[in-house]
Amino acid sequence: MKFFSTLGSYFLMLKGMFTKPENFKMYWKELMHQCVEIGIGSLGIVSIISVFMGAVSAAQTAYQITNPLIPKTTLSQVVRDTVILEFAPTLVCIVLAGVVGSKIAGELGNMRTTEQIDALEIMGINTKSYLVAPKILGALMTIPLLVILAMFLGIWGGRLASVLTGIVSGDTYDRGLVSGFIAKNVWFALVKAYTFAFIISSIPAFYGYNVKGGALEIGRASTTAVVTSCILILFADYLLAAILL
Amino acid sequence: MIELKNIEKGFGDKQILKGVSAVMETGKTNLIIGTSGSGKTVLQKCMVGLFEVDNGEILYDERNFSAMPEDERKELRQQIGMLFQGSALFDSMTVEQNVKFPLDMFTNWDHKKKVNRVNEVLERVNLTGSNKKYPAEVSGGMKKRVGIARAIVLNPKYLFCDEPNSGLDPQTSMVIDLLIKEITTEYNMTTVINTHDMNSVMEIGENILYLFEGEKEWVGNNKEIIFSKNSKLNTFIFASEFLRDAKDMRMLEEKGIIDNDRNMEDILKDPEANLLMGDNDKREAI
């Protein structure tokens, strides 16, 4: 019963976002602020993770390819497809669920407990559209871009590791990258990125917005938000793979 | 003027407000007092629309707030200012940005005009020169004054204050109380203050509503409260021996029993004084 009540509240929050802005300029400013917070704020961690996941992927694939009949270009094909299909959208989004999700839940939770949300409501501002909508839109605008960046950096990380350790030459790696490339995979990864971006932003926003109590509850809300987001990302990952591939 | 008609509000099985009716007068500081859990915060939150009433009407200058469509409510809310218990300032904004926020959101003024207005209200609350400070860098009393400045920057018709003195020392509390009272008169606002600070009650209580367990128990002003015979109110207001003595002295003064020509021995022999200073039953008998 509680599950349906929570689900209903979540959809009501989403529905509540769709109202005419009191001042479009202020909403735009808040949206841009969120894009910077989510996009630029996560750039460092996404870059580091992407390069290393590409490098690890290359090293582990090379370790498993023992048959001399398998062409060396297979290595970069495997790295490319793994990074594009799974690592860049899913792994990066799971990390972002922790980084961005806890920040969104914490920020809104703090605003709720210190009555800042009430203050905005009393001014006549729709807090769902002013505080929640820019976070979701900001995530939808920046997270897919971060995923694209992660794809490039992941593949480059794989190349770097392969060349530096002498597994394959740069030319061989590059040849493998372009052979058997399926453009649909990128489209699929972007569908996943948009889906995960929505989960990463809306779930923590819901838990943060509805915090009741004090500092302890804000912490709990952040943890619940991150855990729920991660589970939903994995669930959606399977669902999308089963439907779209 | 804000009129409350038979307000009822409950949460689950617990009934918090049980048919409260009252009038909050324009140009006066209207105080809602009561013990913790008496329903004063719930009543104020119902009045500003943070809670929906279960029954009853809230009339803002004869406009029924409880039955208003959302657009009309939004419009009315722009005429409402509120000072929160914890000030509710936006942490990431400076004092100036906090006060300017309602102007940014609801006016098309140019930047210079907005800054002028901000400086005007900051000067009014004696905070000139604090524009660039962040909420974390100012004291509790200053935060309250920034909260007041933000609440009045749009020239509201109605001002709500939730426990404006909580966490402040008595002297700063008095400054905040007097500031609220002055602003109320100056802007001719309907000010509603939730408090259980007895200094505030005595100093600025022009219209006092005493709530007891969610019901209206007593209505009056700071002059009448001294002579009130309501035992629940007296127990709440004059909770300490010191305050009871202070009340006795004020009553003796008001009745003309204490004056410069009489010494204490004479006063103590006065049967009326003895009655006044006796126990509650005797007090009520007068």
How many helical (H) and strand (E) elements, i.e. helices and strands, does chain A have? 11, 0
Average pLDDT along chain A: 93
- What number of C-beta contacts closer than 8 Å exist between A and B? 52
Order across the sheet with B2-11: list the strands: B14-24, B2-11, B55-60, B63-64
pLDDT tens digits along B48-80: 988 999 999 999 998 999 888 888 888 898 899
Please check the confidence at residue A66 and state whether its pLDDT lies above 60. Answer: yes
Helix (H) or strand (E) holding B58: strand B55-60
Least confident of A25-29, B160-164, B267-271: B267-271
DSSP 8-state secondary structure symbol assigned to residue A89: I
- Read off the pLDDT of residues B96-118 as tens digits, 9 standing for 90 and up: 999 999 999 999 999 999 999 99
User: Per the confidence metrics, is the pTM higher than 0.90?
Assistant: no
The encoded tokens of residue A107 equal 């920020």
**What 3-state class would DSSP assign to B95?**
helix
For residues B208 and B33, the answer to whether their CB atoms sit within 8 Å is yes
Q: Rounded distance, CA A210 to CA A179, Å?
A: 50
Query: Would you say residue A236 has pLDDT above 90?
Result: yes
Q: Which residues of B103-138 are buried (b: 16+ CB within 10 A; e: fewer)?
A: bebbbeeeeeebbebbbebbebbebeebbeeebeeb
Quick: pLDDT tens for B228-253. Answer: 888 888 888 877 777 777 777 777 77
What pLDDT does A143 receive?
A: 96
Minimal CA separation from A21 to chain B, in Å: 10
Q: How far apart are CA A158 and CA A177, in angstroms?
A: 11
Question: pLDDT band at B262, cuts 50/70/90?
Answer: low
Which residue in the set B91, B105, B160 is minimally distant from A123, CB to CB? B105
Q: pLDDT tens digits, residue range A163-215?
A: 999 889 999 999 999 988 899 999 999 999 999 999 999 999 999 999 998 88
Give the per-residue pLDDT at B126: 86
Which one-letter amino acid corresponds to residue A102?
A: S
Among candidate residues B80, B83, B81, the one with its CA nearest the CA of residue B144: B83
A125 shares contact with chain B (CB less than 8 Å): yes
Say yes or no for a CB contact (<8 Å) between B88 and A116.
yes
Residue B196's pLDDT band (cuts 50, 70, 90): confident
> DSSP letter at B137?
G
Strand partners, B210: B33, B218
Q: Find chain A residues with C-beta within 8 A of B153's C-beta.
A: none
Per-residue pLDDT tens digits for A80-99? 999 999 999 999 999 999 99
Is the C-alpha dihedral spanning B274, B278, B283, B285 positive or negative? negative
Q: Shortest CB distance from B86 goes to which of A115, A123, A126?
A: A115
- Band (B261; pLDDT cuts 50, 70, 90): low
**Rounded to whole angstroms, how far apart are CA atoms A14 and A11?**
5
pLDDT bracket for residue B147 (50, 70, 90): very high
Q: What percent of chain A has pLDDT above 70? A: 100
At B253 the pLDDT is 74
Mean pLDDT of B84-98: 92
Q: Looking at the complex, report in whole angstroms how far the Cα of residue A223 sits from the nearest Cα belonging to chain B.
A: 23
Indicate the length of chain A as a whole number.
Answer: 245
Q: How far is B129 from chain A (nearest CA, A)?
A: 24
- Dihedral sign, Cα of residue B229, residue B234, residue B238, residue B244: positive
Q: Which of A115, A121, A128 is best to mutate for the B interface (most B CBs within 10 A)?
A: A115
Measure CB to CB from residue A23 to each of B50, B85, B105 and give the nearest one: B105
d(CA B211, CA B226): 17
Would you say the ipTM is above 0.85? no
